[in-house]
Every structure is written in C-alpha cells, then in structure tokens.
Structure 1
C-alpha cells in the first residue's frame, strides 16, 4: 500500500480513536455517545472543537483542562495513537482490498471492547449484538456480490452459533465443577461476534490464542505477587486472538499444526 494512503488511514485512525474515547467512557454508563458534547468532568467546561484535535490538543493544553486546569488523563491521546497504529497496520496487512473497510470496522470495535472490559469487566451488548448481525450481513453481502471476504454466509452463521455455544459449554462446565462463574456472558457474545465475522473455523484458534495468552499473563501476575483473587478480564485476549486471525488466519493455523507435528 502506498505511503500517502497508509498515512491517511493513520490520520483516520486518530479521529476514530477520539470517538472511541467517548464510546469507552459513556457506553458502560449507558449514556449516549452522540450527545451532549464532551465536557470536562471536573468543572463542566464544554470542550471546543480546537480543544478536541486528537493528540495535538492534549499537547497544546499540556494535559490540562482549558477551563479549570485539572489534569486530563494520558489515556485519551494513548487510545488515539493506539487506534491510529492499529488502523495503519491493519491496512498494511489487508491492502487496498474489499476486506479493508470491514477489517478496520472490526478492529475499531475490538479496541473499544478491550478498553471497556479492562475498565469495567463488561462487554456491552450495544457493540457485541450488532457486531454479530453486522458480521453476518457483511460476509453475506460480499459473497452475493462475488467478493467473498472472511467467511461464506453459512460459515458466518455457524461461527456466531459455535462461538457463543463453545464458551457457553465451557462456562457451564466450570460452574458445575467449581461452583463459580468463570466468565461473563459478554465473553460468549464477543466470541460469537468474532465467529460471525471470521467464520466458524476461526473460533477454535481464537479461543486457543486467548487461553494461551490469558494463562501466561495469569502466571506472570501470580509470580509478581498480585494474588489469586486478581480479576483478569478475558475479553481483551479474545479480541487480540480475533484480530490476529483477521490478519493471518492461514499462517496461524499452519503454524499451529506445525507445532503439533502435522
């Protein structure tokens, strides 16, 4: 992909990242992401357009509110830069193809879900449920137009069903043997959403990647003395597994079977 186009997608990612900051803050609180306009939580100062330019406004204001000089969290520009980087990298891998825009939409949804889950241990239905429907629609529409994307319509529908069903079975088994809930229903819907986008064949690998990463991080936390009762949301691991399978599905599957000696 040409550098100017890649740079443009990075700039688009900055703007999307600014919007995702609003989504991450408001959705768990069941607030509209459209209105009212953004304002300082400390003094209520209405953020003006020139105070809301991704990254640049934060640097210009030196990380402080223009109204009351209270500190602005560094995470706002971090999310914007992270989204820009993820967008550009996704575009670099997918190229100027029919898969680019759907791939970017899925990436942005996964970024929002990741940060919301890290903050609240919630995965809002407002993203996962429409995400399941949109995944099936996108794959079906592209298939009918003669430009198949990530899965056929049948694979997409099966992906949603199997993605949700596999985690439901695991969750019920864990509850039966331990007497405790091991994961929330939001995780089930997220894996169902990823199955709808990427097809049922991607579901086992997404779950494997998520479980592997979650296990490694869990061991690291125990070694660091964070304790057995430190809650670790599973959504970010599922999101990362889904994003990796979006970009390198064949390579990951081939690598997995190579490790097994297949």
Structure 2
C-alpha cells in the first residue's frame, strides 16, 4: 500500500473519530444517569446554557474557550477533549490497521463502544446493559450474517461467535463465584461478564483467553503501580478498561498475539 493512502485514511478517519468522540462524551455523561443521549442538545452543566455549534468543535473549541463556559465561565473538565482526541487517534490508527474492507466499519463500532464503556466504568464502576447486551447480539448477528451472506466470516465463524459469547460470560462467572466463595466478597460485577461475553461474540472463542490474559496482566501491573504510589489496598480498580484494551488489541492483531503468547510458552 503506498504511503499516501494510509496517511489519507488516517486523516479521514481521524476527523471522523473526533466527531464520534464528541458524541461519546454525551454517552459517557448521560447513559449512566438514565438520560437520553440524543436530546436535549448539549448544555453547560453549571448554568444550563446551550452549547452552540461553534463552541462544540472537538478539542479546538475547548482550547479557544480556555476550558471555560462562555456563559458562566465555569470550568469544562479536561476529560472532554481527552475523550475526543483519544477517539480520533485510535479511530485513525484502527482504520489504517483494519484497511478498507468489510471489517472496517464493524471494527470501528466495536472500538467506539469499548471507549464509551471504558470511561463509564472509570467514572461509575458500571458497564451499562444498554451497550453490552445489544453488543452481544450484534456480534453474533454480524458474524452469522456475513458467513451466510458472503461465504466468509467477519471476525469469527457463527459457531465460534456463539461459543465466544458463552465462554466469555461463563469464564468470568466461574472466577467471580470462586472469588466470592473464597473471600466472601464480590470481586467483579456482572457488567464485566457481559463485556467479555460481548467481546467473545464479536471476536470468537479463541480471543477470550487472550483478552483475559491481557486484562489480568495490565490490570495487575497498574494495581502494583498504585500500591507503590500509596493509593492503598482499598482503592477499587475497575476491570472493564483492561478487558476493553484486550478486546481492542485482539481486534487488530489476533494472530500475532496468539503466536506471541505461545512463543513465550515455548510452543
């Protein structure tokens, strides 16, 4: 592929990602509160002033306004431009990696869902059913529909997709029940189970162990870093973001990660 083509793809989808990131900010704020994500239009949470179109340009408006509402001068959280910029960067990168093909749009939809779930989990330690349950169904339908409609799987075969849904949900359920029995405490919420089931439905059963491995490894490293920084033993670390990271990596590089894993084991 010529250099110009991935650069143009990255620019195009980076702009798209910035716009999607602006919408994800609405989803992240409203969905856990049971509010509509389509109405009313965005407004300042402090004074209620409606955000105008020129004040809603991703990242740029935040910088031009100095991070403050034009009406009441109340501070706008840094999280908003961070979500927009991160969505733009990851959308551009993922589009280049996936390439122009049948996996592109579904892969980006999965990425955007994972970003929304990550920030909601960080904010509230919840993973809303409004994303995970339709995500499970959509993963199975996409893999099944493409298999029968085009003669090839999208990300996984229909059987692998169904097994991935069952394995993803069931494996974490067993771990959660074992932890509860050993400690008398709940180690994770059912939202984590549904998220891994969703990822299994999209990416197939073989992706589930790798997603769990990546999530446990990265979550463990972050936990050690937090303890070393004196955050304390009682600091709750949501598991959803690490599952989301594992899912995104397995979306882009499934064979490379599996091969690398078995190489580490000496296989």
| TM-score class, shorter | over 0.9
Alignment of 1:55 onto 2:63? no
Give the corresponding residue for 1:116: 120
| Residues 88-109 of structure 1, C-alpha deviations (whole Å, 9 max, x = no match) | 1101111111111111000000
2:9·2:96 contact (CA, 8 Å) conserved in 1?
Answer: no
Find 2:184's aligned residue among 179, 182, 193.
Answer: 179
Instruction: Determine whether 1:260 maps to 2:265.
Output: yes
TM-score scaled by length of structure 2: 0.96
Question: Mind listing any 5+ residue stretches in structure 2 that lack a counterpart?
Answer: none
1:220 paired with 2:212, answer no
Residue 234 of structure 1 is aligned with which of 231, 234, 239?
239
Match of residue 133, structure 1, among 117, 122, 137: 137
Matching residue within 155, 170, 183 for 1:165: 170
1:125 CA displacement: 0.3
Distance across 1 between alignment mates of 2:237 and 2:55: 35
- RMSD of aligned Cα (Å): 0.9
Distance 2:216 2:182 in 1: 19
Match of 2:210 in 1: 205
Q: Does 1:85 align with 2:53?
A: no
8 Å Cα contact 2:219-2:242 kept in structure 1: yes
Indicate if the aligned counterparts of 2:164 and 2:197 stay in contact, CA closer than 8 A: yes
1:99-147 per-position Cα deviation (integer Å, ceiling 9, x unaligned): 1111100000000000000010000000000000011111111112224
Distance 1:140 1:95 in 2: 22
**Aligned counterparts of 2:51 and 2:249: Cα–Cα separation in 1:** 36
- Taking the aligned partners of 2:115 and 2:188, their CA distance within structure 1 comes to 20
Identify the range of structure 1 (139-148 vs 88-97) with the bigger mean alpha-carbon deviation: 139-148
Report the alpha carbon displacement of residue 5 of structure 1 after superposing the two structures with TM.
2.6
Deviation at 1:51, TM superposition (A): 1.1
- Give TM-score, length-normalised by structure 1: 0.98
| Count of residue correspondences | 262
1:164 positional shift:
0.2
Partner of 1:44: 48
Query: C-alpha separation between the residues in 1 aligned to 2:115 and 2:195?
Result: 12
Distance 2:10 2:212 in 1: 31
Structure 2 SS opposite 1:73:
coil
Counterpart secondary structure, 1:69: coil
SS at structure 2 position matched to 1:122: coil
Q: CA deviation at 1:4?
A: 2.1
Q: Which residue is equivalent to 1:28?
A: 32
> Offset at 1:6?
2.1
Instruction: Return the alpha-carbon distance in structure 2 between the equivalents of residues 249 and 229 of structure 1.
Output: 35
